[in-house]
């Protein structure tokens, strides 16, 4: 990667990825784009342009003028919000990918497209979920992610577009807040621990979902995009993970630093149903074998870093 255009650059991942890539490749080689300017201050003086990813011509023109050699397509409507607007979710999540892949085909750029654990559903093995397995998601977000995975494979095999991606689990960060996803509780629990000393979880006790700390999520993009393509058997939608968590596991880790922390429950049936349709844990052996994936943060290391940074940020 040398010149990188990011769509959805002001979301939870995008704001931190823009800064991360700027440190590696130089801020003059990063173009951040987003439909709105919310969180614009989070990317500092990195170049920014407004872009709705469903506007194919605008995307093409920006990529061409910037001389991008890589497009990172993060523009998406997430799981919980997607259930309130399924048609718009399809338009953004699928049409946006098609537009990105078409620009890549026309201009010869590489592409990074993230998928999600939401791509799994009924019939998927819930424990140690394989890289290649049945995918029958029950949410429109998950449906769009499966469609995106298939489109990416199609454009590679049909047109030779160098498109790669990972299936992200829940991502935990102390920077930009997430945007209406099912795993967001794992971010909010840390914020409320620092602000209130207590948290009320909308996810039920005992509900396992895989999680990843943001530094590892960012590192995965660079490691995969810089990997030798000859070693990539899958290229797209690699399972990656670091830890399988429940609310009470997070509680126990936080209590090592804040013994008086309190956790209560007020379960949201919509998000709980989504969570129960997703894997408890992922098998990420293909990513480890094909491009050397290895997370640097475990739960307690992440908790210590989250609480330290949030203490500075919130107090």
As a whole-number percent, the residues of the chain with pLDDT over 70 amount to 99
Same domain for 205 and 78: no
Evaluate if residue 252 carries a pLDDT over 90. Answer: yes
Give tens-digit pLDDT for 284-295: 999 999 999 999
Catalytic entry in 141, 155, 213, 297: 141
Q: With bands split at pLDDT 50, 70 and 90, how would you rate the model's confidence at 177?
A: confident
What Cα–Cα distance (Å) separates residue 230 from each residue in 162, 286, 290? Answer: 12, 14, 9
Residue 9 has pLDDT above 80, yes or no: yes
* pLDDT greater than 80 at residue 315: no
Residue written as token pair 């209590």: 255
The reply to whether 20 belongs to the active site is no
| Within-domain flag for 287 | no
Label residue 73 by pLDDT band (50, 70, 90).
very high
Residue 261: pLDDT above 90?
A: yes
One domain, residues 304 and 228: no
Both structure tokens of 178: 């997430």
Q: What is the mean pLDDT of the chain?
A: 96
pLDDT at 178 over 90: no
- Is 80 exceeded by the pLDDT of residue 98? yes
- Tell me what the mean pLDDT of segment 23-39 comes to: 97
Share of the chain above pLDDT 90, in %: 94
Q: Does residue 288 fall inside a structural domain? A: no
Residue 181 has pLDDT above 90, yes or no: no
Q: Does one domain contain both 37 and 140?
A: yes
Q: How confident is the model at residue 151 (pLDDT cuts 50, 70, 90)?
A: very high
Are 76 and 157 part of one and the same domain? Answer: yes
Contacts for 122 with CB less than 8 Å, ≥ 6 apart: 136, 138, 277
Phi, then psi, of 96 in degrees rounded to 5: -65, -40
Shared domain check, 147 and 133: yes
Q: Please give the average per-residue pLDDT across 204-218, as a whole number.
A: 97
The number of domains in the chain is: 2
pTM for this model (two decimals): 0.94
Question: Domain range holding 99?
Answer: 4-169+217-239
pLDDT of residue 182 exceeding 90: no
Q: 298-307, pLDDT tens digit by residue?
A: 999 999 999 9
Average pLDDT for 5-14: 96
Does one domain contain both 93 and 189?
no
């Amino acid at each position: 990667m040398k010149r990188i255009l990011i769509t959805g650059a002001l979301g939870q991942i995008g704001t931190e990825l823009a800064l991360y890539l700027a440190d590696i490749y130089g801020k003059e080689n990063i173009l951040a784009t987003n439909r709105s300017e919310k969180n614009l201050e989070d990317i500092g003086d990195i170049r920014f342009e407004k872009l709705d990813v469903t506007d194919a011509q605008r995307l093409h023109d920006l990529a061409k003028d910037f001389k991008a050699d890589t497009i990172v397509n993060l523009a998406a409507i997430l799981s919980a919000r997607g259930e309130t607007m399924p048609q718009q979710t399809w338009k953004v999540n699928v049409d946006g990918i098609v537009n990105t892949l078409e620009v890549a085909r026309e201009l010869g750029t590489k592409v990074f497209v993230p998928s999600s654990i939401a791509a799994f559903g009924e019939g998927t093995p819930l424990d140690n979920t394989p890289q290649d397995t049945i995918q029958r998601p029950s949410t429109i977000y998950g449906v769009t992610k499966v469609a995106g995975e298939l489109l990416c494979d199609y454009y590679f095999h049909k047109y030779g577009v160098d498109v790669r991606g990972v299936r992200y689990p829940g991502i935990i960060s102390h920077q930009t807040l997430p945007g209406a996803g099912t795993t967001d509780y794992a971010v909010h629990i840390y914020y409320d621990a620092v602000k209130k000393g207590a948290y009320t979880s909308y996810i039920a006790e005992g509900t396992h979902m895989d999680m990843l700390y943001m530094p590892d999520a960012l590192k995965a993009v660079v490691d995969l995009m810089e990997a030798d393509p000859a070693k990539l058997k899958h290229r797209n939608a690699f399972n990656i993970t670091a830890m399988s968590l429940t609310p009470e596991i997070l509680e126990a880790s936080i209590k090592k630093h804040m013994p008086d922390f309190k956790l209560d429950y007020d379960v949201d049936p919509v998000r709980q149903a989504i969570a129960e349709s997703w894997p408890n844990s992922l098998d990420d052996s293909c990513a480890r074998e094909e491009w050397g994936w290895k997370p640097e943060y475990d739960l307690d290391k992440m908790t210590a870093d989250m609480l330290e940074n949030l203490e500075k940020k919130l107090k």
